[in-house]
Structure 1
Amino acid sequence: MDLVIKNLDKQYSNGVHALNNVSLTINKGMFGLLGPNGAGKSSLMRTLATLQDADSGSITLGDIDVLNNKDGVRKVLGYLPQEFGVYPRTSAVDLLDHLALLKGFASKSDRNQIVGQLLQKVNLWDQRHKAVASFSGGMRQRFGIAQSLIGDPKLVIVDEPTAGLDPGERNRFYNILSEIGENIIVILSTHIVQDVRELCTHMAVMDKGRVLFSGTTDDALIEVKGKIWEQRVPKTELAGYQERYKLISSKLVGGQPLIHIFSEADPQNGFTRAEENLEDVFFAKLNELV
């Protein structure tokens, strides 16, 4: 079952062109949707999740017309939004039971089995009687994954899942998503390059509603291979380097800016070739250098 998006367009009443002729084909596995805040990622996710309509274009999930058969999509969809609310005093086990009931599981014994399996899967069984509102950020995200898996979905959408998580929780979350992505389509929408690098073999880069790149992570790296150069520079000279070179990124290392630039040929002047990474691809695409 593939997800095929063709010529999708969405413009809001305030004039923002959130989706501009977006076309993507997404197969089974982990797919990373990378872009800065305001790139159109959440608009695309909300459209896929049947929470808003597109102005034009088409989306099919297997033989399901996503834009015109919302009930059909919802039967095979799992969705973890960027923010999701919980009943403040409801335990994890009771809330999952309630969500399973809403999903159509009328049998109490069936719900008990489903809820137990999901809580075990996301390593929250020992905390099942605690209120979800009392969970840490990482625990709440793991609960969010559990609720998104009710009903054995064929498509799971995860929107900005690791923002604010500590490294330990982020790794636990990575492991859960990787396991899920072995059998179904999982779309990971994020502005964190590390999330895509760790989890996804296929990806797209979006900015200002447009798809700037779609392909494998290896294909993305090939586009900048041998063209990324780095150097540590004095803070006082950073502006000058920005004017003279195609600056991709700058970060402080030991209190001194380490800059990456894009150049087809050796720029010399103290630059050395850097090992390219997805962060270089990301910024090169945003700056339309490749």
Structure 2
Amino acid sequence: MILTITQLNKQYANGVHALKDINLTIEKGMFGLLGPNGAGKSSLMRTLATLQEADSGTITLGEINVLKEKDEVRKILGYLPQEFGVYPRTSATDLLHHLAVLKGFDQKKERTEMVDYLLQKVNLYEHRKKAVSSYSGGMRQRFGIAQCLIGSPKLVIVDEPTAGLDPGERNRFYNILSEIGEQVIVILSTHIVQDVRELCTNMAIMDKGMLLYSGTTDNALDLIKGKIFEKRVDKAELPQYQEEFQIISNKLVGGKPQIHVFSESSLNNGFIKAEETLEDVFFAKLNQLI
């Protein structure tokens, strides 16, 4: 099954043009959608999840017209939004049963087998009788994955799923998503570059409603291969370097700024060639250098 997005546009009543002629083709596997806050990622996710209308364009999932056949999409969709609420004092088991009924699973035996399987899959079975509202952030996100897998969906959308998770929970989350991505289309919307590099072979970069890049992560790195240089400088020198060079990022290392500079030609004067990262691609694209 292939997801095809063609000339998709969305403008809100306040004048914000959230999606501008978006064209994407996404096949089975993990697909990373990168962009800063306000890039249009969540608008695209909500449109794909049939939660809002588009102004123009088309989206097809296999033979399904996503914008017109919303009920058909929802039957094969799993969606984990950036934030989701839960009923207070309701256990994981009861809440999954409730959500499964809403999705059309009326047979209790079938539903019970599915709920138990999903709780085991996300390593929450031993906590199944606890209220989801009492879960830690990581446990709640794993429950979120369980609920979006009800009914063996063909398209899974996760929006900023690892924000706020500690490293251990993030790794557990990575493992679950990777396993899911072997079977279906999984779209991972995030501003955390590491998430995309570790999980996805294909990706897109968005900013201000526009698509800046679409392709493999390896091809993205090839765009800047041999063109990124780094140097640690004094804080007082930073304004001068910003005037003389195309600095795409800087961060404090040992109390001193470490700058990453984009340059088509080799740099001397203390610069060393840096290993290219998706973060460099991300910033170079946002600065329209590539």
| TM-score using structure 1 length | 0.99
- TM-superposition CA deviations, 1:77-104 (whole Å, max 9, x none): 0000000000011000000010001010
Aligned to 2:252, what secondary structure does the other structure show?
Answer: strand
Distance 1:270 1:254 in 2: 17
1:185-233 deviation digits (Å, cap 9, x = unpaired): 0000000000001100000000000000000000000000000000000
Spell out the pairing of 1:94-105 with structure 2 (5 A cutoff): 94-105=94-105
> What percent of counterpart residues are identical?
75
Correspondence for 1:36: 36
The residue that corresponds to 1:106 in the other structure is 106
Query: Are 1:2 and 2:2 counterparts?
Result: yes
Cα distance in structure 2, aligned partners of 1:151 and 1:108: 14
1:268 is matched with: 268
Aligned 1:232-247 pairs, distance under 5 A: 232-247=232-247
CA distance in 1, matches of 2:145, 2:240: 47
CA deviation vs aligned residue, 1:35-92 (integer Å, no higher than 9, x gap) = 0000000000000000000000000000000000000100000000000000011000
SS in 2 for 1:229: strand
Distance 1:96 1:241 in 2: 55
1:164 aligns with 2:168: no
* Counterpart residue identity of residue 194, structure 1: Q
Query: How does 1:268-287 map onto structure 2 within 5 Å?
Result: 268-287=268-287
CA distance in 2, matches of 1:128, 1:244: 59
> Which residue type is aligned with residue 110 of structure 1?
E
Structure 2: runs of 5+ lacking an equivalent: none
Gap runs ≥5 in structure 1: none
Rounded Cα–Cα distance in structure 2 between residues aligned with 1:112 and 1:247: 56
**3-state SS of the aligned residue for 1:280?**
helix
Residue 268 (structure 1) shift: 1.6
Aligned match of 1:211 = 211
Which is further off, 223-232 or 261-270?
261-270
Find the aligned partners of 1:139 and 1:237 in 2 and give their Cα distance. 45
TM-score, normalisation: structure 2 = 0.99
1:154 maps to: 154
**CA RMSD of superposed structures (Å):** 0.5
